Amino acid sequence: MTTNLKLAWRNIWRNKRRTLITVASIFFGVLLSTLMTSLQEGTYSKMIENVVGFYSGYIQVHHPDFWEDKTIENTFTPSDTLINILENESGVTMYAPRLESFTLLSFKNNTKGVALIGIDPEKENQITKLSHWVEKGHYLTANDNGILVPINIAKNLGVDVGDTLVLMSQGFHGASAAALFPVKAILKFPAPTMNNLGVFIDIRAAQAFYSAPDKYTSMVLMVSDNSKVKHIRHSLQSKIKSHLKLMTWDEMDPLTNNMIKADREQNMITKAILFVLIGFGIFGTVIMMMAERRKELGVMVAIGMQKSKLGKIIFFETTLIGMVGVLIGFVVSLPLIAWLVYHPIPLTGETAKVYEQYGFEAAMYFSAHWTVFTQQVLIIFAMTMTVFIYPLVKIVRIKVSKDLHS
Amino acid sequence: MMLIAVAWRNIWRNKTRSLVILISVCLGLAAGIFNMAFYYGMVDQRIETVIKTEASHIQVHHPSYLANPEKVFKIDNAEQIAEQIEAIPGVKSVSKRIMLNTMIQSPTAGSGVRIMGIDPEKEKAVTNLYTKVIEGNYLDSGKRNPILIGKKLAEKLKVKLKSKVVITLQDMEGNMTAASFRVEGIYESANTTFDEMNVFVRSNDIAHVLLLDEKSAHEIAVLLNTNDQMLQVASLIAAKLPKLEVKNWRQIMPEMNLIESSLDITMFIFIIIILLALLFGIINTMLMAVLERAKELGMLMAIGMTKRKIFTMILLETVLLSLFGGLLGMGVGWMLNIYFSIYGIDISVWSEAYRSMGFDTMIYTKLSFGTSMQIALMIFATGIIAAIYPAMKALKLNPADALRIDM
């Protein structure tokens, strides 16, 4: 055992150049597939970030019936324990309350039915960067009595900053709700649908308007990383003993989730092609290595080395070369990816313009999630071991009389 | 010439090595061509759906309508205008529509929808909606107040053929009114979002409820003979109708540009990664080959072969391999492309995601010869670049040392 290992070790370093080339082909394999996987995962994370950062957040806390029946009756009053749990859950980075319902907006002779979203101006801004979309006027301050109107709704009603809107709706337990709100700002979202969706006011004003003091329809939670969402939801659900329902972003937006799933599965084909090409690259070097060592191996067998022992030595050589290759691949790709995560590759030209139009940052994003690395390292290592079936077959087929003459 | 012959023989001296390079190049190219063809086919089908089912080539509206789709922003004398547009060369057919965003209700559920009041016969010439009816009939049966709804909406409202649905709306005079329609047909297009949002009724039925004169419309959809004439015809129409807004499908559905852009990036990255993998694969294999043949190359040098010739010989070996691999890859790639352009690829496993984005679940590959030639050239160039480094390594051999290597 130790002799075999020692022999394998010496064989590897006997011809450094040969070893280096084989190691290099394994190294490039790891590097390329890591880069590709990292880019792919980075793109998905960005997509998810866009979705959650735009409106939904990663997790929402609801009254159990709210999602099916979004009325002002399905609200909840957050208890101190709930706030405590959210504050102390390590993965939750931010949370913001909302009170959403429908209202009629009137200005002069124009009336329109839209969603009314009561928000905590400061907390909401940390999550969805709402103030970023202010086209004209000013964002809400704490305890503001103003209203933020998206551009399409403003155009339809013919209102501008400074005008006063009449809001009419039905409040909690059928109370009638009516109030005046001055337009504080016009919002312009990059996504067209958001510009027709609804208007924003301070949550305390919304609670007063709907006669629902201290009530929320939802609490939006942000977490540090999408991969932790399921775990945090589970942890929160077990701590929150009341009937409240927790929903993750993929349950609220199954479309994006499906899109990512479909894309991921289709990318399997692309990755399979890449792995085959990498495999052939490694295979090519191994074939040449065997051609080069034909005589050497022939001599070994001629002087009485058992083929099985020779096979074992080759196996150790493979394992060592494969391990060195994937390790170097990992060691090089780690800082590279880490750098790319913080310095995404910017896109230019027409594509960049189209992306920006939709409010996406025009760049290619990378992910440094640990599975990106481990997966590639394991796959390439397994591939290297598979490719080395070829030398084993060659050894079994050694014919001393022929190979000595080559 | 002699060098080519030598290189050719060298290639077949070690068949396994040559086959590995050959197959890598072939596979890389075939995969590149096939992947391109698949995605271009997908986008092409989406564009076709956009033009044939959803947006047509050009749409004409009241200038305020698109920003604020209210029923008051109508086109007066739409019938006359439609006739004017139809007379413009390049225009294939025209359909005018009355459109209204409102509520539709079944006994069990309600939903916000867009009512499209169409002239069934004229609409047939512009959109292929009538071919998408999967149950019941298109609106041409002559019954009273028929309505055609999407499959997705039918499921949401839990209605079947002959079910009654009620449309609540505010008429032109501002009174709230309701009208009941009977489900005459259920359609299913490639886009489930479209199916959920749009219901079709006869324009005179809805005009009657709406108290709108039948000659007015909110939208005039124009289908052209070919997509190439779009900008030209659009400006002709715009010149004739200065008071109306004329837009082409790209302006109406800007998200198509986003889809195309992101696809271009995906393809770009895919090709780069394939090229890099090929590059390193070939470099390493050829490097090993040079190493293995050190003695032989040393011998050639010793007997007087010039370094330039040795360099060219090794380069030629790789070039020939890439060339044959490339040709083979082109062949395989195009065979796949042609096969799947006829029989299609079924991606219904992921149908939910793709259909909600408006993509068909049967993808027919499509690729221009020019694009595939570009990929072939890139792969061929990669082969040559990959050969340079090993060939240079061969030049560094010292004949005296190389000859003494004991193989």
Least confident of A199-213, A278-292, A302-316: A278-292
Q: Decide if A19 touches B, using CB distance below 8 A.
A: no
A26 and A125 housed in the same domain: no
Task: With a cut of 80, say whether residue B274 has pLDDT above it.
Answer: yes
Q: Decide if A155 touches B, using CB distance below 8 A.
A: yes
A78 and A186 housed in the same domain: yes
pTM: 0.78
Residue range A52-87, pLDDT digits in tens:
887 888 999 998 888 877 778 888 888 888 888 888
E-state strands within A108-197: 110-119, 134-137, 147-150, 164-170, 176-187
Distance CA A290, CA B233 (A): 68
Q: Decide if A285 touches B, using CB distance below 8 A.
A: yes
Please tell me what DSSP assigns to residue B190.
S
A46–chain B nearest CA distance, Å: 14
Does any domain span residue A249?
Answer: no
B7-B8-B12-B15 Cα dihedral, nearest 10 degrees: 80
Would you place residue A380 in the very low, low, confident or very high pLDDT band (cuts 50, 70, 90)?
A: very high
Would you place residue B351 in the very low, low, confident or very high pLDDT band (cuts 50, 70, 90)?
A: low
Does any domain span residue A252?
Answer: no
- Which of residues A208, A243, A278 is at a domain's end? A243
Q: Decide if A274 touches B, using CB distance below 8 A.
A: yes
Q: Decide if A38 touches B, using CB distance below 8 A.
A: no
Burial B184-221 (b: 16+ CB within 10 A, else e): bbbbbbbbbebbbbbbbbbbebbbebbebeebbbbbbb
- Which of residues A217, A243, A269 is at a domain's end? A243
Residues of B in contact with A261 (CB under 8 A): 350, 353
Interchain CB distance below 8 Å, B277 and A358 = no
A13 and A80 housed in the same domain: no
Q: Tell me the residue type at B355.
A: R
> Which class is domain B91-217?
mainly beta
Burial A142-177 (b: 16+ CB within 10 A, else e): eebebbbbbbbbbbbbebebebebebebbbbeeeeb
Q: Which residue of A has its CA nearest to B354?
A: A259
Q: Which residue of B has its CA nearest to A299?
A: B407
Would you place residue B375 in the very low, low, confident or very high pLDDT band (cuts 50, 70, 90)?
A: confident
Query: Cα A274–A278–A279 angle (5° rounding)?
Result: 115
Domain boundaries, chain B: 2-50+256-404, 91-217
Q: Decide if A180 touches B, using CB distance below 8 A.
A: no
| Element at A335 (helix H, strand E) | helix A307-342
Question: Which range in A7-16, A68-77, A204-213 is most confidently predicted, on average pLDDT?
Answer: A204-213
pLDDT on residue A304: 87
Does any domain span residue A251?
Answer: no
- Whether A341 and A333 have beta carbons less than 8 Å apart is answered as no
Distance CA B86, CA A98 (A): 52
Interchain CB distance below 8 Å, A274 and B277 = yes
Q: Which residue of A has its CA nearest to B262?
A: A351
Q: Tell me the residue type at B348.
A: S
> In DSSP terms, which residues pair with B179 in a beta bridge?
B167
Greatest CA span in chain B, whole angstroms?
A: 104
Distance CA A68, CA B13 (A): 72
Which A-chain residues 223-262 have CB contacts (< 8 A) with chain B? 255, 258-259, 261-262
pLDDT on residue B383: 86
User: What domain range includes position A142?
Assistant: 64-243
Interchain CB distance below 8 Å, B68 and A357 = no
Task: With a cut of 80, say whether residue A400 has pLDDT above it.
Answer: no
Residue range B136-157, pLDDT digits in tens:
888 877 788 899 999 989 988 8
- Whether A99 and A66 have beta carbons less than 8 Å apart is answered as no
Which A-chain residues 88-127 have CB contacts (< 8 A) with chain B? none
Residues of B in contact with A281 (CB under 8 A): 24, 277, 280-282, 284-285
CB-closest option in A261, A284, A292 to B284: A284
A47 and A77 housed in the same domain: no
| Element at A295 (helix H, strand E) | helix A294-302
CA distances from A41 to A45, A319, A334, A370, B266 (A): 6, 29, 15, 11, 13
Residues of A in contact with B349 (CB under 8 A): 265
Q: Decide if A134 touches B, using CB distance below 8 A.
A: no
B133-B136-B142-B146 Cα dihedral, nearest 10 degrees: -80
Residues of B in contact with A292 (CB under 8 A): 288, 291-292, 407
A219 and A302 housed in the same domain: no
Q: For residue A258, what are the contacts with CB-CB under 8 A and spacing of at least 6?
A: B350, B352, B353, B356
Stretch A103-111: mean pLDDT, rounded?
A: 83
Residue range A323-371, pLDDT digits in tens:
999 999 999 999 999 999 999 888 887 777 777 777 677 788 898 888 8
Interchain CB distance below 8 Å, A281 and B24 = yes
Does any domain span residue A248?
Answer: no
Interchain CB distance below 8 Å, B356 and A258 = yes
- Which of residues A193, A216, A243 is at a domain's end? A243
Question: Which range in A302-316, A331-345, A352-366, B53-67 is most confidently predicted, on average pLDDT?
Answer: A331-345
* Average pLDDT of every residue of chain A: 86
Residues of B in contact with A266 (CB under 8 A): 347, 350
What is the tally of structural domains in chain A? 2
pLDDT on residue A118: 92
Does any domain span residue A389?
Answer: yes
Residue with tokens 């481990």: A374
Task: With a cut of 80, say whether residue B160 has pLDDT above it.
Answer: yes
Q: Which residue of A has its CA nearest to B65?
A: A156
Crossing angle between the packed helical segments B255-292 and A16-51, to the nearest 10 degrees: 170
A246–chain B nearest CA distance, Å: 24
Distance CA B253, CA A366 (A): 30
pLDDT on residue B376: 85
Interchain CB distance below 8 Å, B407 and A292 = yes
In this structure, what token pair is assigned to residue A261? Answer: 């799933």
- Whether B186 and B134 have beta carbons less than 8 Å apart is answered as yes
Residues of A in contact with B287 (CB under 8 A): 21, 285
Distance CA B394, CA B6 (A): 16
Per the model's pLDDT, the better-predicted residue between A149 and A352 turns out to be A149
A36 and A111 housed in the same domain: no
Does any domain span residue A373?
Answer: yes
Does any domain span residue A139?
Answer: yes
In this structure, what token pair is assigned to residue B269? Answer: 């990255």
- Whether B232 and B90 have beta carbons less than 8 Å apart is answered as yes
Q: Decide if A389 touches B, using CB distance below 8 A.
A: no
